[in-house]
Amino acid sequence: NLLMTVNFPTWEGLHDFLYSEVSTMQQVKRTEVYFIKKDHKRFYGFEGNESDEPIALSEEDASLIKALSCDGRASYEQIARRLGTSSATVYRRLTALVQNDIIKVKALVNLSVLGFSANAYLALHVEASQRDYICEVLAGLKEVYIVMTMVNGFGVLVGLHSDTPENLYALIQNK
């Protein structure tokens, strides 16, 4: 009934979330966890860190990112007031976050307003030797907005959108 993607900087944080938060919700009857190996394409936001070393964020940077997540159009002055710092500091830190490829500033398109009202996620079992090729082909399709390889379970997770359920079904069957 619910697909949720979450990102945690540590396995311990993910474990705590799954077993201390999600599993204690009375409404959640069963969970299945599929670990993401790599983002091949994502229409919005987070993109995978290709290096082996995680990037450590200062509390100041984490607060800045959280403020931007709440209101990406807020001015430096508004964010500075909210965080109790100067607009020059906000500008400097934001510029560093963008230059270091920690965040990307993008517009999020409301696809349903543009007529993309049919959406689906496909979990594909694929031959390991063909996984990267399949991801490359899928990432090139305009109807595909997310492609991820999985560590366990399914090989590839694909997010699709289309204007009608019929066209979405045709896309799944024919491509």
pLDDT digits over 42-52, tens only?
554 334 445 55
Closest CA to 141 of 126, 161, 124, 122: 161
Given a cut of 60, whether residue 35 has pLDDT beyond it is: yes
pLDDT digits over 94-114, tens only?
999 999 888 887 777 777 777
Average pLDDT over residues 116-133: 83
Bridge partners, residue 123, by sequence: 157
pTM for the whole structure: 0.54
In whole angstroms, give the CA distance from residue 19 to residue 28: 12
